[in-house]
Amino acid sequence: MSDRSGPSLTFNSADPRASIHQATMQDRRTAAILARRRRRMQILLCQILCFVVLIGLWQWQTATGHVSAFLYGSPSGIFAALIATIRDGSVWTDLTATALETLAGFALGNIIGTTLGLSLWYSRFISQVLQPFILALGSIPIIALAPITIIWFGTGFASKVAMSTLSVVVVSIIIAYKGAMGVDPDQINLMLSLRASRQKIFRLIVIPASMTDIFAGLKLTVGFALVGAIVGEFMSSTNGLGHEIFKAGSLYAISAVFAELVVTVILALVLSSIVTRVERWLLPWRHDLS
C-alpha cells in the first residue's frame, strides 16, 4: 500500500521551522527599531545636556561680571526680550512676514531649480554649456544682489522673495542634476532595450530615482531661503525678523538681537520639520532603512 501521509508529514514538519524563522526575523526587526530609538534618545539627551551647560555657563559668566552682558547679552536678558516681543505682539507680525517670504522663495527656487536640474539630463551638451554660468551665479554673494533686486522689484514683498529665490535656485539646480546623473545606468539600458522613449525613461526612471537627492536638497535649501529673506529685510524693509535684528543691532540691544535670532532658529526648525514629514510620507522606505 502506498503511504499517502508521507508528503503531508513532510509539509507539516516544515511549518514549525518556517514559523520559528518568521518569529526570529520579527524579533530582529523589533530589536533594530528599539536600538534606533534608544540611539536617538541618547543623542537627544546629549544635545539637551550640551545646551543646558552652555546656557548655564553663559549666564554665570555674565552674572559674575566676567563677561559683559551689554556686549554679549545674557540668557536672562534674551528671555526677557523674547517675552516682551511676545506680549506686545510684534513678534507674530514679523514672524509671519518672514515666513511668507521664505516659503515663497523656497517654493519658487526649488521649482525652478529642480526643473532646470532635471532637464539638463536630456542633453550633456547643454549641461556643459550652462555649467559655467550656473557656477558663476552660485559664486556671487547673495548680499551683492540685494541692490539689484531692490531696483528691479522695489522695497516690498517681491524683493524679499527674489532674494530668497536666488539663494535657493543654484543649489537646487546642482542637487537635482546630480540626482538625475546618478541614476543606475543598468536601469536606463534596460528601458532602452525595451524601446522606451527618452521621455518615458525620464518619467519612470530618472524622476523617481532622483527623489532622494531632491528631498535632501529641499532640507538644505530651507536654510538658504530663510537667509535670503533675512538679508532682503536687512537691506530694505519695515517689518520681518531681519528688520528687527538690524534695528536692534543698530541700537546695541544685543539681547533683543539674540531674541530675534531665537525666533529665526525656531522658524527654520519648523520649516525643516515640515519638509522631513513630507519626505517620510512620500518616501517611507528611505526612513525604514535608516
Q: Do 9 and 137 lie in a common domain? A: no
pLDDT over 60 (residue 4): no
Chain position carrying cell 512676514: 97
Distance between CA atoms of 130 and 113, rounded to whole angstroms?
13
Query: Given 67, 90, 121, which residue is the final one in a domain?
Result: 67
Q: Are residues 225 and 124 in the same domain?
A: yes
**Is the domain of 117 the same as that of 187?**
yes
- What percent of the chain stands above pLDDT 70? 90
Does one domain contain both 40 and 91?
no
Split at pLDDT 50, 70, 90, the class of 8 is very low
Whether residue 56 is found in the same domain as residue 156: no
Q: For residue 263, give the C-alpha cell.
A: 525666533
Please list, in sequence order, all residues whose beta carbon lies within 8 angstroms of the beta carbon of residue 217, skipping any fewer than 6 positions away.
110, 114, 171, 172, 175, 176, 179
Same domain, 50 and 16: yes
> What was the pLDDT predicted at 53?
95
Q: Which domain holds residue 106?
A: 70-288
Upper half-sphere CA count for residue 250 (Cβ side, 13 Å): 7
CA distance linking residue 245 with residue 90, whole number of Å: 13
CA-wise closest residue to 228 among 93, 109, 134, 112: 109
Write the pLDDT tens digit of every residue in 132-171: 888 888 888 888 888 899 899 988 899 999 999 999 999 9
Among residues 138, 151, 172, 159, the alpha carbon closest in space to that of 231 is found at 159
Q: How confident is the model at residue 15 (pLDDT cuts 50, 70, 90)?
A: low
Share of the chain above pLDDT 90, in %: 40
Same domain, yes or no, for 178 and 212? yes
217 burial level (CB within 10 Å; 0-12, 13-18, 19+): buried
Residues 224 and 263 in one domain: yes
Rounded to whole angstroms, how far apart are CA atoms 121 and 132? 16
pLDDT tens, 183-210? 888 888 888 888 888 888 888 888 888 8
Q: How many CB atoms lie within 10 A of CB 117?
A: 29
Of 39, 67, 95, the residue at which a domain comes to its end is 67
**What total number of domains does the chain contain?**
2
Look up the pTM and report it. Answer: 0.79
Domain match, 62 and 82 both: no
Q: Are residues 277 and 151 in the same domain?
A: yes
The reported pLDDT for the residue numbered 113 is: 93
Residue 121 CA: distances (Å) to CA of 138, 139, 196: 20, 23, 16
* 48, 168: one domain: no
Across 86-110, average pLDDT: 93
The CATH number of the domain where 191 resides is what? 1.10.3720.10
Give 23 or 255, the one with higher predicted confidence.
255
Q: Are 256 and 248 in contact (CB under 8 A)?
A: yes
- pLDDT tens for 69-88 read 888 888 999 999 999 999 98
**49/156 same-domain check:** no
